[in-house]
């Protein structure tokens, strides 16, 4: 028996509801949802819509689309599924606060080659 595909919106809603209802619940098996083509495509669309900046490698949306969006997403999916993709640590910057304490600002970045 195979389960029907869950739309991203439904998945996000179900995860949100469960997390709010049970603060102690630990979510397992979410990586498979991250690796889905539908999820990668939606993440790309949202980044494109928000005018996301080029990654650390300087690749722009125009460059990705010129080279082929399908092959770009397939490459990311392949790297995720094979374990080749390893995110780099966030860049950390201490931001001084008026009360003398500091706030840590974490900036995600990725050095995944094209």
Let me know: does 77 contact 40? Beta carbons within 8 Å: yes
Task: Report residue 33 as tokens.
Answer: 């949802």
Percent of the chain topping pLDDT 90: 34
- The pLDDT mean for the chain works out to 83
Q: Select from 92, 85, 96 the least CA-distant residue to 108.
A: 92
Q: Cβ neighbours of residue 85 under 8 Å, at least 6 residues apart?
A: 76, 79, 112
* Cα–Cα distance for residue pair 70/41, rounded to 1 Å: 9
Q: Is the pLDDT of residue 75 over 90?
A: yes
Query: What does pTM read for this prediction?
Result: 0.64
pLDDT at residue 47 in the model: 87
């Amino acid at each position: 028996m195979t389960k029907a595909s869950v739309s991203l919106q439904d998945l996000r809603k179900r995860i949100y509801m469960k997390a709010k209802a049970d603060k102690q619940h630990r979510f397992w098996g979410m990586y498979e949802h991250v690796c889905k083509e539908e999820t990668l495509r939606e993440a790309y669309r949202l980044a494109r819509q928000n005018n996301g900046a080029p990654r650390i490698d300087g690749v722009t949306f125009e460059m990705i689309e010129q080279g082929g969006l399908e092959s770009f997403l397939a490459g990311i999916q392949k790297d995720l599924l094979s374990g080749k993709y390893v995110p780099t640590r966030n860049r950390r910057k201490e931001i001084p606060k008026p009360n003398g304490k500091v706030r840590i600002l974490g900036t995600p970045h990725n050095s995944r080659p094209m």
